[in-house]
Amino acid sequence: MMESGIPLCSTCGEQLGLSPKGEVFVACHECNYPICRDCVEYEIKEGRNACIRCGNPYSDDDRGVAVVGVEASENHTTVTAHEAGIHARNVSTVSTVDSEYMDDSGNPIWKNRVESWKDKKNKKKQTAKKEKKETAIPPEQQMEEKTETADAAQPLSRVVPLPKSQLSPYRTIIIVRLIILAFFFHYRVTNPVDSAVGMWLTSVICEIWFAFSWVLDQFPKWTPINRETYIDRLSARFEREGEPSELAAVDFFVSTVDPLKEPPLITGNTVLSILAVDYPVDKVSCYVSDDGAAMLTFEALVETAEFARKWVPFCKKFSIEPRAPEFYFSQKIDYLKDKIQPSFVKERRAMKRDYEEYKVRMNALVAKAQKTPEEGWTMADGTPWPGNNTRDHPGMIQVFLGNTGAQDIEGNELPRLVYVSREKRPGYQHHKKAGAENALIRVSAVLTNAPFILNLDCDHYVNNSKAIREAMCFLMDPQVGRDVCYVQFPQRFDGIDKSDRYANRNTVFFDVNMKGLDGIQGPVYVGTGCVFNRQALYGYSPSTVPTLPKTSSSCSWCGSCCCCCPKKKPAKEKDLLEIYRDAKREELDAAIFNLREIDNYDEHERSLLISQMSFEKTFGLSSVFIESTLMENGGVPESANSSTLIKEAIHVISCGYEEKTAWGKEIGWIYGSVTEDILTGFKMHCRGWRSIYCMPLRPAFKGSAPINLSDRLHQVLRWALGSVEIFLSRHCPLWYGFKGGRLKWLQRLAYINTIVYPFTSLPLVAYCLLPAICLLTGKFIIPTLSNLASVLFLGLFLSIIVTSVLELRWSGVSIEALWRNEQFWVIGGVSAHLFAVFQGFLKMLAGVDTNFTVTAKAADDTEFGELYIIKWTTVLIPPTTILIVNLVGVVAGFSDAINSGYEAWGPLFGKVFFSFWVILHLYPFLKGLMGRQNRTPTIVVLWSVLLASVFSLVWVKIDPFVNSNDASTVAQGCIAIDC
């Protein structure tokens, strides 16, 4: 707030001014969002005739002045950084202004400098406007430009809501199911089973938790949507014929650790698919992070860069899909379809031969790397490999393609390919994948500084060469992309059998849950196949949301005053308080944003200003990197020296660079969990960003899934452990991020679901054991059913079925995929999730950390051969025990019914039904234990029948359910008739 008491504009930092009535200017009377008259008029001229906070349209009365000659058009033009002028983005609360940098009046000491710079800039704008008026444009040329602008300014994407015929019944059945659940639990609680109180109470507690889990999972799917993109309009707007491409640059991140578990051939295919992507080559840079400092990875990239000189022009010449050679040559389709060039067959054969030679060289490197020499690895020039000690080595960067002058065989430029291995020293915490990704952020910011970042796992290749254009339809749209932090693509996988026994495809999650989240605040970040806005990773808030300052009343635990929020005040008074409280913060935001355009300051003054704003405390001690964070549209200064940039890039990946900074706490990939993806996306959504889910018809990326049961369970264990870690941290969605109300409630429910689902394993294990206990003891968890109870049970089962059917209808998911998902929910719940809960508490309470091995990325030569390999681990023990106990219980139940007579068959039906429910859900696990593909081995069937028969006979002979009195009576009867 200025000395005069007039609030400041949240967009440009100037005073709001007064209305014609002499009152403080208010643009929108609905939300009182602080924005000045000039900024309102600018928004309307750009076609945005609505409040950027609440969305209500402006009126003449709201603006306090009539705007003449301005019409709100549906066709909006692109807003560039120069056109936006001093409309600044907001900065996250991690950057604070210390009191020592303020003068007596409470203003920053550098404020006068910024004000004088603004005056100079305004004079330049006025001069430019006069020059434009003097140069008249011919009418014919104006008509042509208007036509081109009208074609190019159409929306780049649109939301496709679900038809009411699908969505209305879906919502109705959700409400009906909720009502039925309320009556069901009323019946269960008011009708205890006196003969089995312990089992009844356990079952009721389990059922209440299952209902709670269902609410968390179901209601975030309340408003599912689909989206359409228009790539042709993107090209018309940013790739005009005869002009340089204006598409935004993209930095690709590929992370790898151990080349013996993540084969270099797979990583090489991922890199090749990136280099051959359908995007301007000068806008693409590929950074490969070798967190294991393996010479094998380095040499594999050398071979990959050489082969790319042939592969990239071949792909672009013949529009090859996919552009990963291993998967292109292995697909079983007619490769001549849609090919019209006669030379294609000849060049394809030659390229396939070149690729086979490339594979031989890669395999030779892998074979050579199997045994490490005693003296360590040496490079081609005879010098020792710097990464011989993987835990103690310097940072390494090597640029293979791009500005090195390497061109393809046709003389065309290639995208940049950079090898990065961050420094590692004993005694430093390196934070695994999250730390490696943050190192790539800094390296890429120094070398290329693209405004957008796409991260991929080493086994996820680009399956759709136009995938980046799909993402740009959202991120480069001036209306849609203003508050989008990332565009998430679904994960699709190769190498999975048709039945998808272990639900590796996660179809229900990617085609149902993520579509639902897209209708709220956006999908969660799932670790790969995601295009980020670099500014969002830096911890900035979106320009459409005002930044709230960090106050002394913030909780040290949650940082958001969730437990000590003040009482609500009247709306107008509260809004005014927020305006006054945010005023000084807005001044700082505007100054930070505009520093990059201050040309009259020398380097000493610029570094002084940056220091005053505590940027070094946030981003680290690198002036080059800090300057890059201020460039919203990215890019590297033309005067930058490449050797100097490389030295600076080495500096920003040193071990101690992140110490006493906000890296991993508020900016970049967030530390504190092995599932850093969920945590990183959650922090962005809490700042007010939203994300977008993009599902092109041709899958954008494809990867290799862990294919056998053991690897799949260990993968699920890692995810569940990360969720438990978040639950036990200060970032738990139950209490974090309430200040400001930027996280929508349904979105919060979705995040709560992502961190509490592992705890469902405890009631699930108990519920899966209850049927067997009922069969073995002759008791049951449900009393004799009345007519009302029968209706409730029937209604509950029908509502479950109808909900699933309606989900299948609007999502397009198959029944088999839904059933596989349901089965693996039980398998993972009673095994991996259970271990994750105990390991999570051990880690937090006792400090016992669990080291996970990297999931293998390649299978054996036999198709689906690895699917049927069982690697025995402790994770397999709980589901195996549950299976055996239920099988024994079924045998015992039938034996008791045969022994007791026909009146025992009625109660047996309910018990056996629940037991079979457990066995059917665990059937893929049972089949996995057998280890065969299409049929159960005959010897297993014979032994199973034999053991079941013997057990039944022994059970009938022992007859444990007959009490001692009955047994004595029977014995006396036998004696009386001399038996």
Q: Whole-angstrom Cα distance, residue 972 to residue 969? A: 5
Find tokens 């900024």 and name the residue.
39
pLDDT tens figures, 618-630:
888 888 888 888 7
Give residue 63's pLDDT.
41
Q: Whole-angstrom Cα distance, residue 773 to residue 765? A: 12
Over 90: is that where the pLDDT of 907 sits? Answer: no
Q: Whole-angstrom Cα distance, residue 807 to residue 193? A: 36
Query: Residue 858's pLDDT band (boundaries 50, 70, 90)?
Result: very low
Q: Whole-angstrom Cα distance, residue 480 to residue 533? A: 13
Residue 130 assigned as binding residue:
no
Residue 280 Cα distances to 274, 325, 621, angstroms = 12, 21, 33
Q: Residue 414: which residues within 8 A CB-CB, separation 6 or more?
A: 275, 281, 308, 309, 312, 401, 402, 406, 407, 408
Residue 529 Cα distances to 156, 488, 695, angstroms = 21, 6, 11
Residue with the bigger pLDDT between 566 and 803: it is 803
Give residue 206's pLDDT.
92
Give residue 486's pLDDT.
94
Mean pLDDT of 535-551: 70
Give residue 338's pLDDT.
67
Give residue 946's pLDDT.
59
Instruction: Using CB atoms within 10 Å of the CB of residue 394, give its burial: 0 to 12 exposed, 13 to 18 middle, 19+ buried.
Output: middle
Lowest mean pLDDT among 137-151, 524-538, 815-829, 900-914: 137-151
Q: Which of 979, 418, 382, 469 has the alpha carbon at shortest distance from 696?
A: 469
Residue with the bigger pLDDT between 345 and 850: it is 345
Mean pLDDT of 570-580: 41
Residue with the bigger pLDDT between 5 and 181: it is 181
CATH of domain 245-333+342-544+662-705: 3.90.550.10
**H or E stretch covering 485:** strand 484-488
Give residue 574's pLDDT.
39
Q: Torsion over CA of 119, 121, 122 and 128, rounded to 10 degrees? A: 150
Give residue 401's pLDDT.
81
Over 50: is that where the pLDDT of 492 sits? Answer: yes
Q: Whole-angstrom Cα distance, residue 637 to residue 599? A: 13
Say whether 194 is catalytic. no
**3-state class percentages of the chain: helix first, strand second, coil last, to nearest 5:** 50, 10, 40
Instruction: Using CB atoms within 10 Å of the CB of residue 89, give its burial: 0 to 12 exposed, 13 to 18 middle, 19+ buried.
Output: buried
Residue 262 assigned as binding residue:
yes
Structure tokens at 310: 């042939």
Mean pLDDT of 102-130: 43
Backbone φ and ψ for 918, nearest 5 degrees, come out as -65, -45
Give residue 550's pLDDT.
44
Mean pLDDT of 810-822: 89
Give residue 60's pLDDT.
55
Lowest mean pLDDT among 81-95, 205-219, 465-479: 81-95
Over 50: is that where the pLDDT of 975 sits? Answer: no
Q: CB–CB of 512/170 below 8 Å?
A: no
Residue 381 assigned as binding residue:
no
Q: What angle do CA 49, 53, 56 make, to 5 degrees?
A: 45
Mean pLDDT of 141-155: 57
Mean pLDDT of 721-745: 86
- H helices of 549-669, where? 571-594, 603-612, 615-619, 623-629, 642-652
Q: Whole-angstrom Cα distance, residue 344 to residue 330? A: 17
Number of residues in the chain: 979
Q: Which of 516, 500, 439 has the alpha carbon at shortest distance from 814?
A: 500
Residue with the bigger pLDDT between 636 and 462: it is 462
Give residue 141's pLDDT.
52
Residue 569 assigned as binding residue:
no
Residue with the bigger pLDDT between 969 and 203: it is 203
Over 70: is that where the pLDDT of 481 sits? Answer: yes
Over 60: is that where the pLDDT of 697 sits? Answer: yes
Q: CB–CB of 176/799 below 8 Å?
A: yes
Residue 660 assigned as binding residue:
no
Give residue 250's pLDDT.
94
Q: CB–CB of 349/314 below 8 Å?
A: no
Architecture of the 1-62 domain: 2-Layer Sandwich (3.30)
Over 70: is that where the pLDDT of 805 sits? Answer: yes
> Where along the chain do its domains lie?
1-62, 245-333+342-544+662-705
Residue with the bigger pLDDT between 564 and 640: it is 640
Query: Residue 343's pLDDT band (boundaries 50, 70, 90)?
Result: confident
Over 70: is that where the pLDDT of 572 sits? Answer: no
Mean pLDDT of 468-483: 90
Give residue 603's pLDDT.
54
Q: Whole-angstrom Cα distance, residue 893 to residue 955? A: 10
pLDDT tens figures, 29-71:
777 777 887 778 777 776 677 776 666 777 655 444 333 223 3
Residue 628 assigned as binding residue:
no
Q: Whole-angstrom Cα distance, residue 854 to residue 931? A: 23
Residue 433 assigned as binding residue:
yes
**H or E stretch covering 715:** helix 709-727
Over 70: is that where the pLDDT of 867 sits? Answer: no
Say whether 589 is catalytic. no
Lowest mean pLDDT among 269-283, 481-495, 598-612: 598-612
Give residue 887's pLDDT.
85
Catalytic annotation, pick one of 477, 677, 711, 896: 677
pLDDT tens figures, 778-801:
788 887 777 888 888 888 889 999
Query: Residue 173's pLDDT band (boundaries 50, 70, 90)?
Result: very high
Mean pLDDT of 293-298: 90
pLDDT tens figures, 244-254:
888 999 999 99
Tell me the β-bridge partners of 399: 418
Q: Whole-angstrom Cα distance, residue 296 to residue 303? A: 11
What global pTM score does this model have? 0.75
- H helices of 277-378, where? 295-318, 325-330, 344-368
Mean pLDDT across the chain, nearest whole number? 76
Mean pLDDT of 451-480: 91
Catalytic annotation, pick one of 291, 408, 477, 896: 291
Over 80: is that where the pLDDT of 717 sits? Answer: yes
pLDDT tens figures, 924-950:
887 776 655 444 445 545 555 555 555
Mean pLDDT of 556-576: 42
Find tokens 């205890």 and name the residue.
192
Query: Residue 207's pLDDT band (boundaries 50, 70, 90)?
Result: very high
Give residue 598's pLDDT.
42
Most confident of 106-120, 433-447, 492-506, 572-586: 433-447
Over 80: is that where the pLDDT of 294 sits? Answer: yes
